[in-house]
Amino acid sequence: MAQRRMFSKTITNSSRFLRMPATCRLLYYDLGMNSDDNGFSEWFVILQMTGAKEQDLQVLQANEFVKIFDDKVLIISDWYEHNHIQKDRYKKSKYLELYKDRMPLCTQNGYKMYTQVRLGKDSKVEKGNTEREHPYKKEEGLKKIGEYDFKEFLEDI
């Protein structure tokens, strides 16, 4: 399991997230910090470690932030929105084969995604032209965000 995790502000600053009680939001962060590289987490262990209540977990599931598989394992629904793991650092989840037929669709291909292009004072842009060609725009086969599905994900690992 990785030592660092990210959380997307798109998710954590959404009204859907912020309308939940603080205990539910904290549980979501704890689950994210303790998930494996595919977003799987043993939820009962996290509840015991944090003192969170099962009702908080049920609120997360009702709001579709997590999908609970059984009395032990869940997956964070927006995992690939939060964490994009390079292929050389990825460690396959021990739960992937067991729950692959019940997994939500992936949202992105983390190691092939577009990066933000920022125009700074050192940028060389023609006068009057504020558009800048993306450095990966010409690369064949590059997928944009949202075009990556679970079957392709399984083939890549």
> Would you state the pLDDT for residue 27?
96
Strand partners of residue 68: 74
> Would you state the pLDDT for residue 93?
81
DSSP string for 30-52: HHHHT--TTSEEEHHHHHHHHT-
Q: Residue 110: which of 90, 146, 85 has the closest Cα?
A: 85
Q: Pick out the chain residues at pLDDT < 70.
A: 1-2, 84-86, 89, 103-157
> Would you state the pLDDT for residue 96?
82
DSSP 97: H
SS3 74: strand
> Would you state the pLDDT for residue 121?
55
Q: Are strands 66-68 and 40-42 parallel, antiparallel or unpaired?
A: unpaired
> Would you state the pLDDT for residue 154?
57
> Would you state the pLDDT for residue 107?
42
> Would you state the pLDDT for residue 3?
74
> Would you state the pLDDT for residue 31?
95
- The domain limits of the chain are 9-84
Q: Residue 33: which of 19, 12, 15, 13 has the closest Cα?
A: 12
Distances (CA, A) of 94 to 1, 29, 76, 98: 11, 21, 15, 8
9-84 folds as Arc Repressor Mutant, subunit A (1.10.10)
